[in-house]
Chain A
Amino acid sequence: MADPMLLARRQFFTSSASGLGMLALASLLDQDGLLAAESPSNSPAPKSPHFAPQAKSCIFFLPEGAPSHIDLFDPKPKLQDLHQQKLPDSMTANVRFAFIKKETAVLWGSQRKFAKHGQCGMELSDFLPHLATCADDICLIRSMHTDAFNHHPAQLMMMSGVPRFGRPTMGSWLTYGLGSETENLPGYVVLTAGRGGSGGVSNWSSGFLPSTYQGILFRGQGEPVLNLASPPGVSRDLQQQNLEAIAKLNRHRLDEMHDPEIASRIASYELAFRMQAAAPELIDLSQESQKTLDMYGVDRPEPKGKGGRGSGPDVFKRFATNCLLARRLVERGVRFVTMVHASWDHHSNLDEELGYCSEMADQPLAALIKDLKQRGLLDSTLLVFAGEFGRTPLAENRGGVMPEKVGRDHHPFAFSVWMAGGGIKPGCIYGKTDEIGWAPIENPVHINDFHATILNLFGFDHKRLSVKYKGLNVRLTDQGGKVVNDLLA
């Protein structure tokens, strides 16, 4: 694929963001004899991938901080038997922990009750009662592993395929590769609930790709997009007059300079003007039925005084609303929605705080699956739940005085993720960890494999979706990755 600098110049021809202006722009350029300057591959968005895709859009929930697989997705009765036993030195000799002291570390059984759900008999923890009702729609991978050990690098690994800065994130790759189908919204949108996470904006960065492909943060309060509202006193009328005058003056300049960038600028303003109307409509939930709002739990009571760093004012409401907004975004043709909530980093007080986070996420995510399904959108929408790593079967006991408040440490060797819709195999339980959830013993899935599989669902050969940068052909799957065919429906 082309050099990013050229992409930058041509993004209006390849990107969704400029969507609506395309036809007008094409005719404008045609009229000026400028279209020929662009290569023939630069047809208007959306673009075709390498082969017929299953999924058209993706909703990716990143529970920043890394949820405990042992307490949510991967039951370990043996660990219960070994509760408070020490691990042999041979096991820990070559292992790093972030905080646990090797000398005193003990195994710690989960306090959770697991039960089988659905036709597929998927075992899930009692923290996920709503998700349990969707067991036959989801695909649970219990054998994920990653290369990175600390939050920020591991989040970058999950979102961009390498534990370093500077690479495009998944949403950037997909909007770059596919364009988007919305005429008046960005192709890649980010929704957050609660406090900030470790990764900040780097988790939705376009890396070295043009900023067109960057995730656009829709905000929880005020206007949904930064600078969306016209300035005080400027009515829609005035804004339109302004738009038209800018367009006319830019067109004079275009006549003189013949630079297609000027035409792109004109289209940019048109889209911006349309976004000013479309984005408020997007977040206006007054057209949603009470039944829908209730299904997502938008107005559920929020438990007070629990949740630790994960809690905050209106976090339950915010997250439920985000799930509903994610559906509305996908309905309007947005390609990729990243939902972020921090923090699932339970070094202590695991049972209470993981309980809070799970309660926050469980009902709205289950509602999202059901809602997408009833609207016929689940087949073309991939929903993903994936933290950056797992947590230790060993207890972490900060302070050492409150055994009922132990937590678990960072654990890159094994964790669980789930997906639904978009061509993923429903009711599927894939991979296995050993008896204490330490390491995969069957069908291990590396993050690069996970990404290769997702790209496959979107019609891409992950080895061919690449951009030349600093002497390398850079891919989302870096140097590795193989499609896990067993996960495909």
Chain B
Amino acid sequence: MPDRLAGTIAFFALTLLVGAIRAEPPRIDVAKLPPAAEKKVEFATEIQPLLKKNCFSCHGAEAQESGLRLDHKKRALDGGDHGKVIVPGKSAESRLVHLIAGLDAETGLMPPDGMGTPLTTAEIGLMRAWIDQGANWPDSAESSAGSDHWAFQPVKRHPLPRVGDPSWPSSPIDAFILARLEREKLHASPPAPRATLLRRIYLDLIGLLPAPEDVEAFANSPEPDAYERLVDRLLASPRFGERWGRYWLDEARYADSDGYEKDRPRPFAWRYRDWVINSLNADLPFDKFTIEQVAGDLLPGATLTQQTAVGFHRNTLHNTEGGIDPEEDRVKKTIDRTNTIGTVWLGLTLGCTQCHSHKYDPISQREYYAMYAFFNSIDEQDIDAPTSDQAVRLAADKEAHMKRLAELESILKEYEQNNLPAAQAAWEETASNAPASWKPLSVKSAQSARGATLTAEPDGTVLVSGTNENSDIYTVELSLPPGMYTAIRLEVLPDDKLPSKGPGRAPHGNFVLTRLSARVDAEVAFVAARADFSQDKCDVNLALNDNAGDFWAVVPQTGKRHVAVFDAKQPFGADSGTSLTLTLDQTYPNGAPHNIGKFRVWVTSVRLPAPLEGLPEGVAAALAVVKEQRTDEQRKTIADYYRTIDGELAKLTKAIADHMAKTPSLAADVKAQSVVQLEKPRTTNVLIRGDFLSPGDPVEAQTLSVLPARKSRGEKPDRLDLARWLVDPANPLTPRVAVNRIWQQLFGRGIVFTSDDFGKQGERPSHPELLDWLAADFVRESVDRRMANGENDNSTSSPYSPLTTHHSPAWELKRLIRRIVTTSTYRQSSALRPELVERDPENILLARQSRRRVESEIIRDLALSASGLLTNRIGGPSVRPPQPAEYASITYAGSASWKESTGADRYRRGMYTFFQRTSPYPMLMTFDTPDTNECAVRRMTSNTPLQALTLWNDPAFVEAAQSLGLRIVGQGSNLSSRERADFAFQVCLSRRPSEAELDDVLALHEAHLAVCRADEKGSSAIVGSQPLPPGVTTADAAAWIGVARALINLDEFITRD
């Protein structure tokens, strides 16, 4: 380091290093410690009461400041976020002692001011003695790791409450709701009008509008169970999987691109989405649904479907920004996977724990990383995932390919048997006459076009020295002995005098031969060239053309001898001997000189193709023996050699190689995103303050101690054990969290409002007994019991066979949903009653149904559904409906090129819209689709002027209004305006209009019509390019399109009442 720099650096190096290196713990002056008691100390009678009195309020079951828990043996001895606090046998080194003695200046005295009284010298002495005596903590003094918090208690089946009005409840669920209402002196709302109920159940179960015929039929149905039958029909609709799959995709943070700066597309992410839709349609029980997504890859004999399911873990963000540390990104993903499991299945805010122990819930930072360890050995992998059609096609293609291969092989075999011997015999005729095939030529003169010095040696070599200009051309005149010749050989040679030993004069020893030409009286024409080695994309044949931009070169094989052979079209030479003039053009377009450094020229008279070298010694010797007297070995030597030079044989062999290169395979995008477990697992450490560069203590994979224990298959638990633990019926959180979310989707609010937080900071359930009743009813029979009965997770041939998988319908979503939507509670009117405005504005008690604006995707679906434009296809790749052209350009480097979908793909349901993380489809974002950067278990519902502008003016909705308007006028020419308005109302709102509403619609039509009649140009613009039904004027169509536009802009249109 230069001296003058040293001084400059010194003063700020410190500032830099402070940030980079963790500070040493401050020195403790142990001399100030009170002495240890001099007697045998009993933990249970002397120490535990001390801890309980002074420490448990912050370091006990309900709170663990700094991750330290002193009421639980293992946790206490493990220590907290900052490491161990008890060193058995060494009280002077135990941080616990330092802290209670107030010697740790940074943390201060424990317990802190206001939290308790400091320990006396005698008490500290007892503590020291206990630690010095080995910190013996008998198991009999162990308390459980449990917590009193409601969510961690086992699910209980509570008896059904008594209600004052037994006529109202139509299910146990209603009893719980009504009992609470009666306690609050409230009454339930009347049932929703039949039309409202119909629209409600359509929107809730399939997210599409009922057709006017369905409205009519349901309104007039005499069947007492018409509603229940409708529910069953909708649950069986394949649209159910789309509607409910979209909820799950929020939780799975599904998107079609990576996120971050580069935001690359994920062209086959949709395979996971299809899995979700199919699984829900097949009612894959929620325990299996869970296991396959968390650990499908680890199931014995994991199917393609299960490997696709575990693509759940691939929905994380992925950073490919330049200069990123891949390990940092991997850690971020692993943290996201851990947090997502916490939120989606456990309803716990595990994410709070990645930097420090949970402030409110009994989860330490160490435990967080023990959960993290389950995901720490995931390796991302894209797997071949043919659909069944694609698999069939591939098999057929492969069969055809094998057939053709057999044909080619038989042609080869036939040639070898029938023609090869004759060809060899013919070759032997000439070859045996010319055993020493290549003759070196002596140099008469050698010139450089750019001033280099060419020095010829007696052995025919030419060494180049001196000036080394770019793109030199050498002209060499050689003596050609009498006779006719068939080929020329250029030999380039290494030499110590050349850079990197040559054979070229470029710094790394390379050269280029852009063109080789030869003259004997006339220009010699060449038909083919071959070399012992050619650089990639610099084949020696490129030296035969006139193109200055391509050439023969030899990187990386510099520093070695190479030969190139050039077969002449016609034999050349003369009886009397003559001259051969060779020109070596070394034009190099890219800068540095690439001239040849040392070379020699040879000729031959052998039959073409000329070999690179002369005949190998053994072959020449064998050929020298008279044919009939050759030994078997000599015959074999000749035959083997000949096989390497026979042209036809080479052609046939190459044909087979070419064919093999075309072996049918799946297209590159026929894949699914999946994960596998690393063979050698990564070590997991606590990450101090969540920083991936600051590993702390190592930890083993372990589930949360506050919840029931896990059953493991092997010695070390893995992700599959974790998945099974999540759905273990003893785990009280998973079923509560799952049913709560279903409830939330059907009432707009969960029984636990904070559906993402069942911890102490979350809200308590409004109806705790009901939540438990639903959870117990949902689980019914455990997966473990099924397993004990000899069924493994793959026991059914297809996970998608609907409803028939098991006799015991445990964990079934459809059954749970059916139970809820057939209650009196669900069927209530959603009108807000004046007394409820005061008493229960947020509708916690459910004295009515909730009104909810539907989700962004469903808004699109409703408009497409009302207009008749909707494409009915289910599943498949994402689509790109039109959006403003420059919208994608706000992404970095325009990574989101938005190639508009055409035809039916323009009209697919909202859930199939390609989700580009850095420039999401604007309409979706305007209506509150989550950004997908982390899991979202409930959506917001905003209400903004941008939403008004979207529904009013977005071309997609304008097009829907056009089609709906034309649908209205297309209902037959004899309909009155009143009848048309009635029809439009039924299509959009699934009900008949009131008289007042009808008047307003007709007034709008009249007003629009007057304007449209006066503005023909405007009217045709409104109608667009679609043909009008016969007898309809442009103005009338435009007016009805205006009416349609008003209807799809109504609050009621986008609301589930």
Contacts and interface: CB of A to CB of B under 8 A. Distances in A.
Given A233-B1038, A272-B952, A435-B12, A471 B349 contact: yes
Contacts of A269: 945, 948, 952, 1049
Contact of B953 (A221, A231, A252): A231
A63 B922 CA distance: 24
Given A241-B1004, A250-B1050, A268 B945 contact: yes
B831 A257 contact: yes
A471 B934 CA distance: 16
B1046 A221 contact: no
Given A195-B893, A413-B16, A471-B349, A5 B938 contact: yes
A27 interface: no
Given A91-B16, A258-B832, A201 B756 contact: no
A152 B1051 contact: no
Interface stretch (A40-48, A354-362, A437-445): A437-445
Contact of B949 (A166, A205, A225): A225
B1015 A265 contact: no
Nearest to B11: A434
Nearest to A11: B942
A252 B996 contact: yes
A85 interface: yes
Interface string A241-270: 110011011101100111101101110110
Contacts of A11: 942-944
Given A36-B838, A200-B919, A342-B892, A90 B13 contact: yes
Given A165-B934, A200-B892, A234-B1018, A438 B943 contact: no
B1011 A252 contact: no
A238 interface: yes
A18 B15 contact: no
Contacts of A272: 945-946, 948-949, 952
A33 B761 CA distance: 34
A292 to B, nearest CB: 27
Contacts of B280: none
Interface string B831-842: 111100110011
A198 B1042 contact: no
A116 interface: no
Contacts of A86: 1
Contact of A241 (B323, B893, B1008): B1008
Interface stretch (B271-279, B577-585, B642-650, B882-890): B882-890
A198 B947 contact: no
Contact of B945 (A18, A229, A258): A18
Which residue, of B9, B753, B1021, B1055, has the highest number of chain A Cβ atoms within 10 A?
B9
Contacts of A96: 325
Interface in B764-814: none
A471 B1057 contact: no
A51 interface: no
A246 B1046 contact: yes
Interface stretch (B442-450, B700-708, B924-932): B924-932
A150 B323 contact: yes
Contacts of A233: 1015, 1017-1023, 1038
A226 B946 contact: yes
Given A233-B1038, A261-B1051, A471-B360, A166 B933 contact: yes
B522 interface: no
A197 B6 CA distance: 39
B1046 A249 contact: yes
Interface in B1-55: 1-2, 4-6, 8-9, 11-13, 15-17, 19-21
Contact of B323 (A5, A91, A97, A197): A97
Given A11-B942, A98-B322, A245-B1004, A198 B931 contact: no
A142 B759 CA distance: 44
Nearest to B850: A259
B1000 interface: yes
B251 interface: no
Contact of A470 (B19, B351, B1003, B1023): B351
A472 B352 contact: yes
Contacts of A4: 940
Interface in A61-102: 78, 81-82, 85-88, 90-91, 94-99
Contacts of B259: 165
Interface in B998-1043: 1000-1001, 1003-1004, 1007-1008, 1011-1012, 1015, 1017-1024, 1038, 1042
A87 B949 contact: no
Contacts of A305: none
B13 A98 contact: no
A126 to B, nearest CB: 25
B958 interface: yes
Interface string A271-304: 1110110000000000000000000000000000
A205 B831 contact: no
A234 to B, nearest CB: 6
B1049 A470 contact: no
B934 A166 contact: yes
B7 to A, nearest CB: 10
B533 interface: no
Nearest to A222: B884
Contacts of B942: 8, 11, 210-212
A225 B953 CA distance: 11
Given A217-B890, A470-B757, A201 B920 contact: yes
Nearest to A439: B15
B1052 interface: yes
A232 B15 CA distance: 63
Interface in A126-155: 150-152
A273 B948 CA distance: 9
B616 to A, nearest CB: 47
B830 interface: yes
A257 B853 CA distance: 14
A152 B351 contact: no
B940 A210 contact: yes
B886 A220 contact: yes
A111 interface: no
A248 B1007 CA distance: 14
A186 B942 CA distance: 14
A275 B1015 CA distance: 25
A360 B322 CA distance: 26
Contacts of A250: 1050-1052
Given A252-B1000, A256-B831, A434-B11, 19 more contacts: A5-B753, A5-B940, A8-B941, A33-B837, A34-B837, A36-B838, A37-B837, A91-B9, A150-B321, A212-B943, A226-B949, A227-B950, A232-B1021, A232-B1024, A242-B952, A258-B834, A261-B1051, A264-B943, A273-B948
24 contacts: A9-B941, A33-B837, A37-B841, A78-B8, A82-B8, A88-B1, A88-B5, A152-B319, A166-B934, A195-B892, A196-B892, A199-B261, A210-B940, A212-B943, A226-B949, A231-B955, A232-B1022, A235-B1011, A235-B1015, A249-B1050, A261-B1055, A276-B949, A434-B12, A440-B15
Interface of A: 4-6, 8-9, 11-12, 17-18, 33-34, 36-37, 78, 81-82, 85-88, 90-91, 94-99, 150-152, 165-166, 186, 192, 195-202, 205, 208, 210-212, 214, 216-217, 219-222, 225-235, 237-239, 241-242, 245-246, 248-250, 252-253, 256-259, 261-262, 264-266, 268-269, 271-273, 275-276, 309, 342, 409-410, 413, 434-436, 438-441, 470-472
The 3 A-B residue pairs with the shortest CB-CB distance, nearest first, are: A98-B323, A233-B1021, A200-B918
Interface of B: 1-2, 4-6, 8-9, 11-13, 15-17, 19-21, 259-261, 263, 317, 319, 321-325, 349, 351-352, 360, 753, 756-757, 759, 761-762, 830-834, 837-838, 841-842, 851, 853, 884, 886-887, 889-894, 918-920, 922, 925-926, 928, 931, 933-934, 938, 940-950, 952-955, 958, 994, 996-997, 1000-1001, 1003-1004, 1007-1008, 1011-1012, 1015, 1017-1024, 1038, 1042, 1045-1047, 1049-1052, 1055, 1057
